[in-house]
């Protein structure tokens, strides 16, 4: 299937950047999947592999005035926003050198300096927060845009629905990205979402709704570009629905008995990285060698991150009690 979306705005450097972002996400997640199976990673991890085009497509349109909020499946958004990969890996391993000094873990990685308001363990926790950052940007006149990522499961959470309404009522510079990967834990989105598409709800909340083939980076990028521009210019919020699938289970350890072979089909036929690579090499914008070079860089980056994480120190008893308050 050929893609017909405009891509004039992406320079060669841009293309390498977004490819690097997606490749980093993919390799990060694949590596965490492998390492988790050894038992070295504590707690729960929820992997984003397969969904890279959404994070990269949206975040490549943002700058340092902007904020995003993510979900429990947040590694992709963190990487796309430029959160340090080594610090992320260390955080997942619970080390003192991690993004949150080992206190948050996979589900709570954040870096406010990079406009990343955090992965979130609470479904629907992000949208109200993004209404807040959007409001602040509006009041302060920064021109900043706030983006809330949530899943098909989160699209049914009351907080999300209220946030859609509020963002319209206050005309906030916000974008809502529903990442519909087909499942909320084991529950199919075709069952749990009453309308045919999550994007169909947009009209009910007074904003435009856009459906995007989530495996197509360029489609995601263009839809996000338009929504972010609208928000930035005071045109109010947009609801974008990315339709794709996740390659791994809800969390690592999920046997996925509720699925029936779609994953291998998706990996073979619906891989956003392959599709991106095919297209840019076909048009000649990038060469195989360019892409391979990025792949090699990324491989080294991930390897170094894992090595460093495994060798890093754990937090100490004194760390337990710090940072509960600014001042108590």
Partner 1 sequence: MARNITYREAINEALVQEMERDETVIVMGEDNAGGAGAPGEDDAWGGVLGVTKGLYHKFPGRVLDTPISESAFIGAAVGAATAGLRPVAELMFVDFMGVCFDQIYNQAAKFRYMFGGKAVTPVVIRTMYGAGLRAAAQHSQCLYPLFTHIPGLKVVLPATPYDAKGLLTQAIRDNDPVIFFEHKALYDMSGPVPEESYALPFGEANVVREGADVTIVTLGRMVHTSLSAAAELAASDGVQCEVIDLRTTSPLDADTVLESVEATGRLVVVDEAHPRCSIATDISALVAQRAFGALRAPIEMVTAPHTPVPFSTALEDIFIPDAQRIANAVKTVTGWNP
Q: What angle do CA 98, 27, 25 make, to 5 degrees?
A: 70
Give whole-number Cα distances, 51 to 10, 96, 113, 264, 297, in Å: 20, 29, 24, 15, 21
251 vs 285, beta carbon nearer partner 1: 251
Spatial contact of 57 and 21, defined as CB atoms under 8 Å apart? no
Q: Applying CB under 8 A, does 315 fall inside the site for partner 1? A: yes
Task: Give yes or no for a contact between 155 and 187, defined as CB atoms under 8 angstroms apart.
Answer: no
DSSP-derived secondary structure letter, 156: G
Q: What are φ and ψ of residue 226, in 5° steps? A: -65, -45
Please, which residue, 93 or 218, has the CB nearer to partner 1?
Answer: 93
Cα separation, 155 vs 149, in Å, equals 10
* 156 near partner 1, judged by CB under 8 A: yes
267 binds partner 1 per the rule CB under 8 A:
no
Indicate which single residue of 9, 11, 142, 188 sits in contact with partner 1 (rule: CB under 8 A).
188
Q: Which of residues 23-42 bind partner 1 (CB under 8 A)?
A: 42
Cβ-based neighbour number of residue 324 at 10 Å = 7
Judged by beta carbon, residue 48 or residue 276, the one nearer partner 1 is 48
Q: Does residue 185 belong to the site contacting partner 1 (CB under 8 A)?
A: yes
Which one of residues 9, 186, 283, 287 is an interface residue with partner 1 (CB under 8 A)?
186
Among 7, 33, 65, 259, binds partner 1 (CB under 8 A): 259
Q: For 102-261, list the strands marked E by DSSP.
A: 146-151, 174-180, 183-184, 187-188, 209-213, 238-243
Residue labelled with tokens 């390897």? 303
What is the Cα–Cα distance from 80 to 60, expressed in whole angstroms?
A: 7
Contact 51, 20 (CB under 8 A): no
Q: Which is nearer to partner 1, 248 or 276 (CB)?
A: 248
Nearer to partner 1, 16 or 184 (CB): 184
* C-alpha gyration radius of the chain: 19
Restricted to residues 275-304, the positions that interact with partner 1 (CB under 8 A) are none
Shortest CA distance to 172 belongs to which of 205, 217, 132? Answer: 132
Stretch of 150-158, 213-221, 232-240, 266-274 contacting partner 1, by CB under 8 A: 150-158
Residue from 1, 139, 268, 320 touching partner 1 (CB under 8 A): that is 320
> From the list 165, 171, 192, 281, which residue makes contact with partner 1 (rule: CB under 8 A)?
192
Q: Work out how close the CB of 229 gets to partner 1 at its nearest, in angstroms, rounded to a whole number.
A: 31
* Residue number with CB closer to partner 1 (112 or 258): 258
Residues numbered 65 to 124 that lie near partner 1 (CB under 8 A) are: 91, 94-96, 98, 100, 102-108, 120-124
Q: Are strands 187-188 and 183-184 parallel, antiparallel or unpaired?
A: antiparallel
Q: Which of the ranges 31-39, 59-67, 235-243, 310-318 carries the binding residues for partner 1, by CB under 8 A? A: 310-318
What residues make contact with partner 1 under the rule CB under 8 A?
A: 42-44, 91, 94-96, 98, 100, 102-108, 120-124, 153-154, 156-159, 183-193, 256-260, 262, 314-317, 319-321, 324
């Amino acid at each position: 299937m050929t893609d017909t979306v405009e891509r004039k705005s992406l320079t060669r450097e841009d293309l390498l950047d977004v490819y690097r972002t997606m490749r980093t996400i993919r390799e990060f997640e694949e590596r965490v999947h492998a390492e988790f199976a050894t038992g070295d990673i504590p707690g729960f991890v929820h992997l984003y592999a397969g969904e890279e085009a959404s994070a990269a497509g949206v975040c490549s349109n943002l700058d340092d005035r902007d904020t995003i909020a993510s979900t429990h499946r947040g590694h992709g958004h963190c990487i796309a926003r430029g959160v340090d990969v080594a610090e992320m890996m260390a955080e997942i391993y619970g080390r003192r050198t991690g993004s949150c000094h080992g206190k948050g873990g996979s589900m709570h990685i954040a870096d406010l300096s990079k406009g990343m308001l955090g992965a979130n363990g609470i479904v629907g926790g992000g949208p109200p927060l993004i209404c807040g950052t959007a409001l602040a940007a509006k009041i302060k006149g920064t021109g900043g845009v706030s983006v809330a990522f949530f899943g098909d499961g989160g699209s049914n959470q009351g907080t999300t629905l209220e946030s859609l309404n509020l963002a319209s009522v206050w005309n906030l510079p916000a974008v809502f990205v529903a990442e519909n990967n087909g499942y909320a834990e084991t529950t199919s989105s075709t069952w749990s979402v009453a309308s045919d598409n999550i994007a169909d709800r947009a009209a009910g909340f007074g904003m435009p709704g856009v459906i995007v083939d989530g495996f197509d980076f360029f489609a995601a990028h263009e839809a996000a570009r338009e929504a972010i521009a609208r928000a930035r210019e005071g045109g109010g919020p947009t609801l974008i629905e990315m339709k794709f699938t996740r390659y791994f289970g809800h969390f690592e350890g999920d046997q996925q008995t509720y699925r029936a072979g779609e994953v291998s089909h998706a990996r073979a036929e619906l891989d956003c990285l392959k599709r991106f690579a095919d297209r840019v090499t076909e048009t000649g914008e990038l060469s195989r060698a360019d892409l391979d070079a990025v792949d090699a860089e990324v491989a080294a980056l991930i390897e170094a991150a894992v090595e460093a994480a495994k060798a890093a120190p754990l937090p100490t008893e004194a760390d337990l009690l710090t940072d509960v308050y600014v001042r108590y």
